[in-house]
Chains A and B, each alone.
Chain A
Amino acid sequence: MVADYVDWLRREGRIVIVGASLAGLRAAETLRAEGFAGELTLIGDEPYEPYDRPPLSKSVLLGKASPHRTELPHRREIDAKWRLGVPATGLDLSAKRVRLADGDEVEYDRLLIATGVRARPWPKEEEARLDGVCLLRTRDDAADLYQRLKAGPRRVFVIGAGFAGSEVASACRETGIPVTVAERAGAPLVGALGGVIGAVAADLQTENGVDLRTGVTVTSLEGDSVGRVRAVHLSDESVVEADVVVVSLGSVRNTDWLAGSGLGAGPRGIACDAGCRAFDFRGIVTDDVFVAGDVARSPHALFGYQFLSLEHWGNAVAQAETAAHNMICHGADRRPHLWMPAFWSSMFGVNIKSVGVPSMGDQLMITQGSLAERRFVGVYGHQGRVIAAVTFDNTRWLEFYARQIERGAPFPVEYPTVDRRPEGRQPVAADFPDPSLPTHGPTVTLSGYSPADQQLVFHPARH
């Protein structure tokens, strides 16, 4: 009976994908590549074909790439019905229907949710509306910010020194624009990489002429008489004049539209099993709703079955492929999403790349190169095993460390390596901030050990 259903689904079922970005597109392509012959619909809130986001905070801001030319290459024809520029506004699980903002409803037999995240806005709405206060997540955001940078602002102020904020600061310096960066934590990138590496990032910023303010928060944004932002007020009572403010406070998961749907969806994303099937709010896995990409939160066997939310490009691709595969195969052929977390960034001429989950690490060892030279491999340890690694301009060794993580290799790292320096012989505290303190959004969120940790009562989000 079940087998029959899958065969029928593959032949003539209806699959709807909500979210038309990287994960949505790759899932659609995988469905077709694996023989799905039914009806495929892609729903996206932006009016554009799926495009690539990493360049938006890098080459686009430098004017080396147009924000309108970062479309994702298609791997194959997907023969889909596109509903672009129309956000999904609701989900009826029992009727198997997605509601759209234009009042339309789309029925599905199986649904994939890949709605991703959006930039967390500046919380004071009136200040957020000031001309010159920008976010950076979408192609339109990038086009707008690029124009503002090109106009030669006297100073750019970046709120939050995570990866996106640091990349914006880097683009400003590369184009000679004065920039101030404010970070609540003690250094840039601490949420993702800890204080030891954060200190290296801090030096990198200051040496490149960034006016870096750490341990401070922005208390208010001040506008002029015509509604343009003119100054930023900080918790240390200082005031910085700036005509562009980039709010880079991490992201918010796009789950609002699922409020009341009965899915286990909330501010931390949508919980799903390792096979990408969504949980309902009771913690029971659903049969026909799958999740992939930034909005998903799924248990990972390598990391103590913790539920990981990974806002990583590669995760979106891998999880979309797994979800699509599992959507149209029989139970025994399902695969778990076991992707090795990895991300990269480039700023101030340095390539930063990481594998594993650094924020789980308690200790850090520099196994190759040196912090002072800003070329190194740092290995994170957790409970006696290697849990993550980060490289600054040393990308080519990273595969080795990914295998070490997979194998649960012991930490500290005792064996000799090429370019091991005396500073790297002893582990040090990785120095992550207390996770209960809010900073800008970390790139990885860990929460709970099982679906049962979810609350059983659904509270609609209040903002």
Chain B
Amino acid sequence: MTQASLFRRITDFANRADPYPLYEELRKTPVLCEEEGGPYVISSYWDIEALLHDPRISSDAANLAAAGDDALSGPEATGLPPSFIRLDPPEHDRLRRIANSSFGPPHRPRRIENMRGELGEIVTGLIDGFGDARQIDLVDQFAYPFPVTVICRLLGVPREDEPRFRAWVDPIVAGLDPDTRTSAESERTAQEARLQLGMYLNGLVEQRAKEPRDDMLSDLVNSHGPDGAMTTMEVLTTAVLLLIAGHETTVNLITNGMLTLLRHPEVLERLRNDPGLSVRIVEELLRYEPPVQIVPQRTCIADIELRGVTIPKGSHIWLMLAAGNRDPERFKDPERFDPDREDIQHLGFGSGIHSCFGAPLARVEAQIALSELARRLEDPRLVEDPPPYRQNAVLRGPRHLNIAFEGLR
């Protein structure tokens, strides 16, 4: 082989700023397996959509491990048991239902809606905090602290503990990256971090068991609906999942969003005058620059025939959401960022039983964040383009996004 495999080039950090030409190449072989025993990489919209609803595809960490590739079973393989994102029904469904009973309809239909005011205040506070500066790093000063504050309040994790849990979250997230996670050492670090984070949350959970408050940790530990209660271990794995997924992805959604808007100043200008446009903008962003680019955790438990290729039972399957989102078989003019498109749909939140649990929250957060940034920043522009990226190919987004502007409105 004279050239690294296409998949290696996609995960290669050098291509992080713009993987889209590689995705285009990838779609030429929509069911691609580059090496014996390697993952089957799926890149067309309809195929991904179909496999996300296919009951022959398992998310169970045990099935992944059984397939003989420990690195791919990720940081949840040992230490804490897997959370529901790495489980199949019926366990997945039970845990997700219990978690949902404190988060969304039918039990808490207004929980997110009722947070709008609070979200607005946090955003206002952060933007006011830019003070007299004429240049900011959007990631460190806004896109990271905003969702962290929100998920802390929602779960009931003290905001001031952020430096502590960040030290555990970073290696866990790094462990999701296909490039780093092949190393046994980063694997161990990630597992260790997950355990530490679980132990930290356990302290809070014990408190809430005694003195419940109006937060999700209290609800999780005191749940006793038709599905019964979560075990303490289930509460911990769920809390770890919600804490991490609750902000790591939203950081990228907001940062990718602002980056895209600054590259499309005419849309930014429209948003400034019409905050309602943020709904369409966020949906189109989830298509155009999805914060989760790849779902790398699936295995098939039966032979699956796809486009004339037989994917043998036990194979790993990587669903390239970001490639599917720009599939010309599905979208007209897919490489164009166009919030006015007639049918904005996307794989940005996945689909099927594992579709993003926090989607309603992420949508509202991104809508408020982008419309407020558009409204308040005077003449914003990118200081460097492309910006420096985070290492991660799965959770892809800028590490810093330096924006210059003329003042606050």
Contacts and interface: CB of A to CB of B under 8 A. Distances in A.
B345 to A, nearest CB: 13
A403 interface: yes
Interface in A5-58: none
A224 B106 CA distance: 41
A415 B89 contact: no
A369 interface: yes
Nearest to B106: A349
B56 interface: yes
Nearest to B97: A393
B241 interface: no
Contacts of B53: 396-400
Specify which of B60, B90, B106, B351 lies most central, judged by the most chain A CB atoms within 10 Å of its CB. Answer: B90
Contacts of B352: 396-397
Nearest to B353: A396
Contact of B89 (A368, A398, A400, A403): A368
B170 interface: no
A418 B89 contact: yes
Interface residues of A, number: 18
A357 B89 CA distance: 26
B302 A416 contact: yes
A375 B90 contact: yes
B54 interface: yes
B50 interface: yes
Contacts of A396: 53, 351-353, 355
DSSP class of B's interface residues: helix, strand, loop or mixed? loop
Interface in B46-101: 49-50, 53-58, 60, 88-90, 93
A397 B88 CA distance: 13
DSSP class of A's interface residues: helix, strand, loop or mixed? mixed
Contacts of A399: 49-50, 53
B301 interface: yes
Contact of A419 (B54, B90, B302): B90
A217 B352 CA distance: 42
Given A396-B53, A403-B50, A418-B55, A369 B302 contact: no
Interface residues of B, number: 21
Nearest to A367: B55
B55 A368 contact: yes
Specify which of A373, A377, A398, A416 lies most central, judged by the most chain B CB atoms within 10 Å of its CB. Answer: A416
A74 B190 CA distance: 51
B130 to A, nearest CB: 40
Interface in A398-419: 398-400, 403, 415-419
Nearest to B50: A403
Contacts of A418: 55-58, 60, 88-89, 301
A417 B55 contact: yes
B50 A415 contact: no
Interface in B324-381: 351-353, 355
A351 to B, nearest CB: 10
Nearest to B301: A416
A8 to B, nearest CB: 29
A148 to B, nearest CB: 25
Nearest to A419: B89
Specify which of A396, A417, A418, A419 lies most central, judged by the most chain B CB atoms within 10 Å of its CB. Answer: A418
Nearest to B57: A418
A416 B60 CA distance: 14
A313 to B, nearest CB: 19
What 3 pairs between A and B have smallest CB-CB spacing?
A: A417-B55, A419-B89, A415-B302
Interface of A: 349, 367-369, 373, 375, 377, 396-400, 403, 415-419
27 contacts: A349-B106, A367-B55, A368-B89, A375-B90, A377-B55, A396-B351, A396-B352, A396-B355, A397-B53, A397-B55, A397-B352, A397-B353, A399-B50, A399-B53, A400-B50, A400-B53, A400-B54, A400-B55, A415-B303, A416-B56, A416-B301, A417-B302, A418-B60, A418-B89, A418-B301, A419-B55, A419-B90
